[in-house]
């Protein structure tokens, strides 16, 4: 596990008999490959990361033992999900645990920007008494435009309305408006009518640089921009130009196109030095509450996958809500190419082994099948190991993806 994943993650792993090795943050692909391949034994291994560590295709290829990836955060753009799915690697994240923390940070930033809090605090630190109301406003009655009305965007919407803001949102999917919020008729209308624009979209090919000079120009003069989504979404040079021209009055950024790999590395941004800009070091989800909850949520999902083959909430494998294994029985997990005949072949192997199937679940997704099979013998019965080897040897089985749980 890397990137200071919360200690709360350890309990679930302990219960599942998973040994935990912690590494420093900022590992590159070669170091990750070396660390994973250097783990003791030859059984399956997992990797736990947060938003920074890239888990790209070469890692899946170079570490055939890699069975699962835990993203101890919301975003999964740091992981090659398609390669993971096609390699039969389970990827879990924490889709909700830091939602509230991000929404609270954005609320704080809305107030800080509209009261010029950071600028006036800086002035006071420097011995200047900037007591005047110029450019300072209440947020009550102002309009907040939210782009991406998902978990965070909609949570922000509720909190913002409680403070008297009017909320409009834009999403590519039809979303249920919460409270008195309403969908904007278009992105342009949202930009033209909002005093604050807050971005809450994921990093996808469609959102990369989706907020550039044209979008900034369409914002209401004197409005503020907030980005706590991904740094790839905003064209930073265009934002700097707009801030310098005074068209955008201020901004709060938590994420950047290029972020330091670890706390030991320096941070550079073209926005440094602009006092109307709040720069935070990607801390939207960095609260004790969020990190503790994420640690539990993701480690429990990984542990349930390791122990029972449960894939509920898994991003890359078909979902099977597998229960615990009944005493006296054993469960085999097999991931295979989804082609006709796999189940027939697998069942034939069970009867060849002289075993009886006591439970069977098969789900497929995007050309990959997940088969969980319970048989009426304990895991130390030699017939079970022989069945495992037979299933692993099926032509359709993905390499190293047949396990006795």
Ligand X SMILES: O=C(O)C(=O)COP(=O)(O)O
Ligand Y SMILES: NC(=O)C1=CN([C@@H]2O[C@H](COP(=O)(O)OP(=O)(O)OC[C@H]3O[C@@H](n4cnc5c(N)ncnc54)[C@H](O)[C@@H]3O)[C@@H](O)[C@H]2O)C=CC1
Question: Which residues are catalytic, by number?
Answer: 230, 259, 282
Helix boundaries (H) for 1-136? 9-15, 29-37, 57-62, 81-86, 99-114, 117-125
Verify binding: residue 75, ligand X, rule CB under 6 A: yes
Report the chain's C-alpha Rg in angstroms: 25
**What sign results for the dihedral spanned by CA atoms 15, 17, 18, 20?**
positive
Verify binding: residue 74, ligand X, rule CB under 6 A: yes
Residues 242-261, mask of contacts with ligand Y (x by CB under 6 A)? ------------xx------
Q: H or E element: which one contains 261? A: none
Supply the minimum distance, in Å, between the C-beta of residue 216 and ligand Y: 16
Verify binding: residue 98, ligand X, rule CB under 6 A: yes
- Quick one: which of 201, 301, 302, 375 contacts ligand Y (CB under 6 A)? 201
Verify binding: residue 106, ligand X, rule CB under 6 A: no
Verify binding: residue 48, ligand X, rule CB under 6 A: no
Supply the minimum distance, in Å, between the C-beta of residue 277 and ligand Y: 16
Supply the minimum distance, in Å, between the C-beta of residue 278 and ligand X: 17
CA dihedral (73, 76, 77, 80) in degrees, to 10, reads: 140
Rounded (10°) angle between helices 117-125 and 99-114: 70
- Quick one: which of 42, 125, 173, 264 contacts ligand Y (CB under 6 A)? 173
What are the φ and ψ backbone dihedral angles of 58, each rounded to 5 degrees? Answer: -60, -30
Q: H or E element: which one contains 292? A: helix 288-308
User: Taking contact as CB under 6 A, which single stretch among the options 34-42, 47-55, 245-253, 359-367 is the one that binds ligand X?
Assistant: 47-55
d(CA 87, CA 27): 22
Supply the minimum distance, in Å, between the C-beta of residue 202 and ligand X: 8
Using alpha carbons, select from 49, 51, 149 the residue that is nearest to residue 103.
149
Residues 178-197 within binding reach of ligand X (CB under 6 A): none
Verify binding: residue 52, ligand X, rule CB under 6 A: yes
Which of ligand Y, ligand X, none has residue 401 at its interface (CB below 5 to 8 Å by kind)? none
Using alpha carbons, select from 188, 192, 198 the residue that is nearest to residue 220.
192
Spatial contact of 389 and 292, defined as CB atoms under 8 Å apart: no
d(CA 70, CA 13): 12
Spatial contact of 284 and 101, defined as CB atoms under 8 Å apart: yes
Verify binding: residue 184, ligand Y, rule CB under 6 A: no
Verify binding: residue 284, ligand Y, rule CB under 6 A: yes
User: Taking contact as CB under 6 A, which single stretch among the options 130-138, 142-150, 304-312, 316-324 is the one that binds ligand Y?
Assistant: 142-150
List interacting residues with ligand X (CB under 6 A).
Answer: 50-52, 73-75, 98, 282, 284-286
List interacting residues with ligand Y (CB under 6 A).
Answer: 74-75, 98-99, 102, 147-153, 170-173, 200-204, 206-207, 210, 228-230, 254-255, 282, 284-285
């Amino acid at each position: 596990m890397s990137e200071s994943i919360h200690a709360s993650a350890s309990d679930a792993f302990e219960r599942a008999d998973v040994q935990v090795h912690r590494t420093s943050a900022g590992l590159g692909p070669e170091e990750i490959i070396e660390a994973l391949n250097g783990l003791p034994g030859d059984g399956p291994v997992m990797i736990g990361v947060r938003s920074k560590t890239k888990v790209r295709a070469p890692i899946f290829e170079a570490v055939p033992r890699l069975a699962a990836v835990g993203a101890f955060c919301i975003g999964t753009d740091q992981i090659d999900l398609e390669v993971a799915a096609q390699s039969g690697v389970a990827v879990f994240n924490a889709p909700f645990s830091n939602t509230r923390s991000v929404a609270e940070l954005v609320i704080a930033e809305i107030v800080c920007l509209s009261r010029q809090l950071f600028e006036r605090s800086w002035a006071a630190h420097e011995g200047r008494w900037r007591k005047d109301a110029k450019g300072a406003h209440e947020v009550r009655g102002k309009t907040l435009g939210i782009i991406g009305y998902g978990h965070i965007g909609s949570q922000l919407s509720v909190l913002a309305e409680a403070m008297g803001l009017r909320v409009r949102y834009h999403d590519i999917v039809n979303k249920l408006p919460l409270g008195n919020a309403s969908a904007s008729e278009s992105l342009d209308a949202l930009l033209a009518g909002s005093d604050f624009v807050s971005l809450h979209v994921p990093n996808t090919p469609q959102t990369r640089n989706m907020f550039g000079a044209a979008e900034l120009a369409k914002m209401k003069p004197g409005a503020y921009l907030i980005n706590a989504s991904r740094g790839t979404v905003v064209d930073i040079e265009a934002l700097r130009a707009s801030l310098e021209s005074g068209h955008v009055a201020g901004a709060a950024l938590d994420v950047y196109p290029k972020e330091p790999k670890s706390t030991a590395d320096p941070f550079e941004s073209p926005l440094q030095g602009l006092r109307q800009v709040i720069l935070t070091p990607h801390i939207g989800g960095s609260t004790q509450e969020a990190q503790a909850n994420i640690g539990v949520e993701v480690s429990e999902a990984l542990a349930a996958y390791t122990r029972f083959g449960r894939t509920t909430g898994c991003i890359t494998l078909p979902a099977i809500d597998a229960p615990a294994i009944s005493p006296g029985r054993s469960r085999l997990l097999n991931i295979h190419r989804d082609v006709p005949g796999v189940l027939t072949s697998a069942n034939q192997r069970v009867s060849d082994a002289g075993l009886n199937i006591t439970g069977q679940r098969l789900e497929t997704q995007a050309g990959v099948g997940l088969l969980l099979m319970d048989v009426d013998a304990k895991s130390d019965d030699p017939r079970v190991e022989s069945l495992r080897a037979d299933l692993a040897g099926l032509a359709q089985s993905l390499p190293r993806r047949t396990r006795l749980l």
